[in-house]
Each structure stands twice: as C-alpha cells, then as structure tokens.
Amino acid sequence: ADGYYQYMMSECVYSTSDYSDMVLLVSYSFNKVVDVQFNSTVGKCVGLTEFGVKQAEYFNKNQAYLQQLKAQVDTACRSNAQVLDSAVRDKA
C-alpha cells in the first residue's frame, strides 16, 4: 500500500447572513501536508512548506488562474451558500 496522496480542498467560510465576509480557501496537500493555500482575502497563493513556496510562486505568476479563484467567491461560494441556507431556513 505504498503510494502518494495528493488532493485539493476548497472551503467557503462566512459568518454573516449577507455573505459580505465570504472567504474562499483552497488548500493543496501532498501526503496529508498542506503545501499551498489560496485565500481570496489575500488574493494570492501562499506557500506553507519549502516545496509549497515554489508552487505558490508558480501559481501566482498565472494571473488568469488567480482571477478564476477570486471569481469563485461569487460564482460558487455565495450562490451555493444562498441555496443551502435557504434550504435550512425553510426546514426550521
């Protein structure tokens, strides 16, 4: 069972009902260690390990990719939060 474990996880974090504080966090991990994290508030990728710093530099050079991630706050996070929140409120 030797092998490598690589994954990306996206999280939408907020605490207000108008979603004005919505933040997208995208974490890139290898073998359960987070190497790089994108934070929509910061607007760029940050390396958390030696390898992650190199990856972050590569990602941050790609402005189209950063713009795509920033846009996901509206296209994915807010729209899904609104749908999910309304489903919960309607059931309460």
Q: Which among 5, 19, 13 has a CA at the least distance from the CA of 38?
A: 13
* Overall domain count for the chain: 1
- pLDDT, tens digit (0-9, with 9 covering 90-100), for 25-42: 999 999 999 999 999 999
Question: In CATH, what number is assigned to the domain containing residue 49?
Answer: 3.10.320.10
In a domain, 90, yes or no: no
In a domain, 92, yes or no: no
Distance CA 44, CA 60 (A): 6
Contact (Cβ atoms closer than 8 angstroms) between residue 35 and residue 45: no
In a domain, 10, yes or no: yes
* Structural domain of 48: 6-85
- pLDDT, tens digit (0-9, with 9 covering 90-100), for 37-89: 999 999 999 999 999 999 999 999 999 999 999 999 999 999 999 888 887 76
Q: For residue 70, give the H/E element and its range.
A: helix 63-72
In a domain, 25, yes or no: yes
